Chain A
Amino acid sequence: MSAVATYVRLAWAWTRALAQYPASLAMLTAAQAVATVGELAALVFLFGHAGRLGGFGLHEALLVYGLAGLAFTLADLLMGSVERLGEHIRTGAFDVMLVRPVPALLQVAVEEFSPRRLGKVVPCAAALGWALAALPAEWTPLRAAAVPVLVASGTVICCSVWVIGACLQFVALDAREAANAVTYGGQAMAQYPLAVYGRDVARAATYVVPLAFVSWQPALYLLERPDPLGMPEWLRFAPPAVAALLALVAAAVWRAGLRRYRSTGS
């Protein structure tokens, strides 16, 4: 709990620093929102013309987009800064974090926290709301309760992938680009129904970088649809377990990275 309080305290301090330039903050937030709305418009336009893609209609695709987008943008809001680990190591700022009595991962995650990232969260949440309102399946209490659980699981999965990617920078300070290919590339992919990409990609997204549990499997669960790629049915119940497991892996990788951390000269 005290870690959460510390996070909020630091995030608030960064927010206040940014709020000294309210016009700039508002503009950056708006720019992020516009970019996301543009992406959404492209999706609507695509399905408006093609009707169905890979057996999925507009509302179903919106559901996938909303789940993926919301999880990714929340993860970006909360932990997006971890991708700058290498920079902190190079400048020695990471050494400073290590001598404070607060977990270093928390400090890296909250560094330069910016509410402008909410500009991406809100349109994604709206898309998800729209898709859920149009959901053909019947609403049961279980299904209603599942929505926040699935979003939380997706967020944890994204955060974990991000942390693991950032830990590459303990080994090679310039590994950011390589990690970004997986994190941002994965995000772009997970925003569309996996059926579009075919079996091999879907397998990789299930068993290697498990982004299928962020949007695809949760969507199949909420839509009560059989998996068009023929993967096991039980996978759609796995997101919370995958999230917990991946978080443990990320924590272990982070600790291993810290153990081999060698600071910087000077």
Chain B
Amino acid sequence: MEAVIEAEGLGKDYTVAEGPLPRRRRRRVSAVRDVSFRVAPGEVVGYLGPNGAGKSTTLKMLIGILAPSAGRVRVAGLEPVRARTRLARRIGVVFGQRTTLWWDLPLRDSLALTRHLYRVPRADHARRLAELTEVLELGPFLATPVRQLSLGQRMRGDLAAALLHAPEVLVLDEPTIGLDVVSKTAIREFLLRLNAERGTTILLTTHDLGDVQRLCRRVMVIDGGRLAFDGGLAGLHAVAPSPRTLVVDLAAPAAPIAVAGARTVRVEGPRQWLELNGNPARVIAQVAADHEVADITLREPDIEEVVHRIYAGR
């Protein structure tokens, strides 16, 4: 099938100036090196990697903000930097860390402005806005100025703004960063539905393995600017088995907990870390039966760990 996103040998160098002015030195930093991939229409792809790996830089080249230093990229058949404004009509972009909405305007007005900027016919706009308002539950805060919205509300508003022109491709840079669990879940479910019902291609970067597990059949892992893995989520687990961790707070310091289905990897006073390899419910029940427990939390592995394991496994 024809790819909607195509990157070949993609690279980006930044020159950074360092030191005080008279003796300022210039250094080249390779943020992205020789990255190649293709995304087919309708795919949901997670683009993962630790901080500074080059995720945002790659996305900026895909959406036409940055010119690549090497290689070639095409999105929806267009060369992003050259056809930036034309491409903008066909893709939706959401930055988790900044908003595309107008800070001082009520959400409703921001969305209305978007209609004009993207020249969406009035009837189409009204229909999509009604749909998005319902699915994203925007109703209660449509009249609220954007600066007064909570992060979760703002992110839902941003998603609506990015989708009002019905783009074929949706690119999201850390869409769930800083959100509470409820908002995260709402956004994940919305993206799944969007992909299932409209066939919208979705490429998202994230730090959150929960996002990946819920959303992505395919993941790409980038580290130090290079693509370290590209394949199914199952394959990622195979090359980088990343157990979840149980953090147990005991009533008092004790010897390392011994329990079937988990291995104690760290002890710090009354707090112990158990690496899970069996059924979490059974392990939790057993620990609670054997010890006096103040608190137990289940921690998902983070991306740093997964990437670390990919390298360790090589």
Q: Is the CB of B98 within 8 A of A95?
A: yes
A263 is contacted by which of B65, B91, B97 (Cβ under 8 Å)? B65
Give the docked Cα–Cα distance between A126 and B76 (Å).
54
The A-contacting residues of B in range 23-79, CB under 8 angstroms, are: 56, 60, 63-67
Chain B residues whose CB sits within 8 angstroms of the CB of A261 once the complex forms: 65-66
**A68-76, A100-108, A159-167: which lies at the interface:** A100-108
Q: How far is the CB of B34 from chain A (nearest CB, A)?
A: 20
Q: How far is the CB of B122 from chain A (nearest CB, A)?
A: 14
Question: Is A199 at the interface (CB under 8 A from chain B)?
Answer: no
Give the docked Cα–Cα distance between A5 and B116 (Å).
9
The B-contacting residues of A in range 202-258, CB under 8 angstroms, are: none
Chain A residues whose CB sits within 8 angstroms of the CB of B105 once the complex forms: 13, 16-17
Chain B window 271-297, contacts with chain A (Cβ cutoff 8 Å), 1 for yes, 0 for no = 000000000000000000000000000
Q: Is the CB of A96 within 8 A of B109?
A: no
B104 is contacted by which of A17, A95, A102 (Cβ under 8 Å)? A17
Question: Is B311 at the interface (CB under 8 A from chain A)?
Answer: no
Chain A residues whose CB sits within 8 angstroms of the CB of B60 once the complex forms: 95, 263
Give the docked Cα–Cα distance between A262 and B32 (Å).
13
Question: Is B89 at the interface (CB under 8 A from chain A)?
Answer: yes
Chain A residues whose CB sits within 8 angstroms of the CB of B100 once the complex forms: 96, 99-100
Closest chain B residue, CB of each to CB of A98:
B65
Q: Is the CB of A10 within 8 A of B95?
A: no
Known: A99-B93, A259-B67, A263-B60. A10 touches B113 (CB 8 A): yes
Closest chain A residue, CB of each to CB of B66:
A263
The B-contacting residues of A in range 1-33, CB under 8 angstroms, are: 2, 5-6, 9-10, 13-14, 16-17
Closest chain A residue, CB of each to CB of B101:
A96
Closest chain A residue, CB of each to CB of B13:
A262
Q: How far is the CB of B111 from chain A (nearest CB, A)?
A: 12
A92 is contacted by which of B95, B104, B118 (Cβ under 8 Å)? B95
Question: Is A180 at the interface (CB under 8 A from chain B)?
Answer: no
Give the docked Cα–Cα distance between A6 and B85 (Å).
14
A102 is contacted by which of B64, B85, B95 (Cβ under 8 Å)? B85
B97 is contacted by which of A6, A16, A92, A262 (Cβ under 8 Å)? A92
Q: Is the CB of B98 within 8 A of A91?
A: yes
Give the docked Cα–Cα distance between A103 and B98 (Å).
20
Q: Is the CB of A99 within 8 A of B88?
A: yes
Give the docked Cα–Cα distance between A10 and B105 (Å).
11
Question: Is B123 at the interface (CB under 8 A from chain A)?
Answer: no
Q: Is the CB of A99 within 8 A of B67?
A: no
Q: How many residues of A contact B (CB 8 A)?
A: 25
A6 is contacted by which of B65, B89, B109, B116 (Cβ under 8 Å)? B116
Q: Is the CB of B117 within 8 A of A6?
A: yes
Chain B window 92-112, contacts with chain A (Cβ cutoff 8 Å), 1 for yes, 0 for no = 010101111010110001000
Question: Is A266 at the interface (CB under 8 A from chain B)?
Answer: yes
Q: Is the CB of B98 within 8 A of A92?
A: yes
Q: Is the CB of B117 within 8 A of A101?
A: yes
Q: How far is the CB of B16 from chain A (nearest CB, A)?
A: 10
Q: How far is the CB of A145 from chain B (nearest CB, A)?
A: 35
B95 is contacted by which of A17, A95, A103 (Cβ under 8 Å)? A95
Give the docked Cα–Cα distance between A10 and B88 (Å).
18
Question: Is A93 at the interface (CB under 8 A from chain B)?
Answer: yes
Question: Is B86 at the interface (CB under 8 A from chain A)?
Answer: yes
The B-contacting residues of A in range 167-191, CB under 8 angstroms, are: none
Q: Is the CB of B104 within 8 A of A100?
A: no
Q: Is the CB of A101 within 8 A of B65?
A: no
Give the docked Cα–Cα distance between A262 and B118 (Å).
25
The B-contacting residues of A in range 79-102, CB under 8 angstroms, are: 91-93, 95-96, 98-102
Q: Is the CB of B66 within 8 A of A262?
A: yes
Q: Is the CB of A98 within 8 A of B64?
A: yes
Known: A6-B117, A92-B98, A266-B56. A99 touches B104 (CB 8 A): no
Give the docked Cα–Cα distance between A259 and B91 (Å).
21
Q: How far is the CB of B245 from chain A (nearest CB, A)?
A: 28
Give the docked Cα–Cα distance between A93 and B117 (Å).
16
Give the docked Cα–Cα distance between A136 and B102 (Å).
51
Closest chain B residue, CB of each to CB of A92:
B98
20 sampled A-B residue pairs with Cβ under 8 A: A13-B109, A17-B102, A17-B104, A92-B95, A96-B99, A98-B63, A98-B65, A99-B65, A99-B88, A99-B93, A100-B85, A100-B88, A101-B86, A101-B89, A101-B119, A102-B117, A259-B67, A261-B66, A263-B60, A263-B66
List 12 additional contacts besides A261-B66, A266-B97; criterion CB under 8 Å.
A2-B119, A5-B116, A9-B113, A13-B102, A13-B105, A17-B102, A91-B98, A98-B64, A99-B65, A99-B91, A102-B117, A103-B85
User: 9 closest pairs, A vs B, by CB?
Assistant: A101-B88, A17-B104, A99-B93, A92-B98, A101-B85, A101-B89, A98-B65, A96-B100, A9-B116
Q: List chain A positions with a Cβ less than 8 A from chain B.
A: 2, 5-6, 9-10, 13-14, 16-17, 91-93, 95-96, 98-103, 259, 261-263, 266
